[in-house]
Amino acid sequence: MKLDIILTASGYGRRFGENKLIYSLEGRTLFGIALDNALAVKKSLPGHIDCVRAVSHYDEIKKICLEKGAEYIYNPQSAEGMSASLRIGTESCKSGNSILFMVCDQPYMRPESLIRLVTEYIYSKSGIACFRDSRGNISNPAVFSPDYRAELMGLRGDRGGKEIIKKHINDAVLIPIDDRELTDIDEQI
């Protein structure tokens, strides 16, 4: 089983007040933290990850991708919201590959947790895998099998994969995780 990792990096940071993707936390950009985590997953699971890509409209994100050896896909529809990033990311993947979508504003996410997410997805034989917090809420990152490609391509507006997960919850493996790892940087301000 092969996976592609897609980092959704097209947000405008309206709640944050600036481009949060290049915001520095402890000497590293939020995007850099997420990209390093994705690359650690690829390195730890060499037979399973085809590529790591970022979908963005920011030149700064493109520069970081080039420096670290990740692919960059320009998102000309970033104003539409999350669905545009998911569609563009999905379209860039091989049709038979599963896709791990990651947001870039969870700075406390650990690479070990992402490796566990991918590993449990592979061995569960489920079509979807995502994290769940201590209250049972589902959260990013999430993995989707190729069976969900059409639904991902059909998303519009500022809607993400969560609605697909909820619709197909019986085909999802929900992996418990420490709530801190799911913390969105917006919640820290």
Which pLDDT score, from 0 to 100, does residue 144 have? 98
CB 58 within 8 A of CB 104: no
Answering whether pTM is above 0.85, one says yes
Each domain of the chain, given as residue ranges in start order, spans 3-188
The whole-number pLDDT of residue 11 equals 63
**Which amino acid is residue 59, in one-letter code?**
D
Spatial contact of 168 and 147, defined as CB atoms under 8 Å apart = no
Options 3.30.300.10, 3.20.20.70, 3.90.550.10, 2.60.120.620; CATH of 3-188 = 3.90.550.10
Q: What is the pLDDT of residues 128-183, one digit of tens each?
A: 999 999 999 999 999 999 999 999 999 998 888 999 999 999 999 999 999 999 98
CA R_g for the chain: 15
Measured CA to CA, the distance from residue 117 to residue 146 in angstroms comes to: 17
Spatial separation of the C-alpha atoms in residues 49 and 70, rounded to whole Å: 12
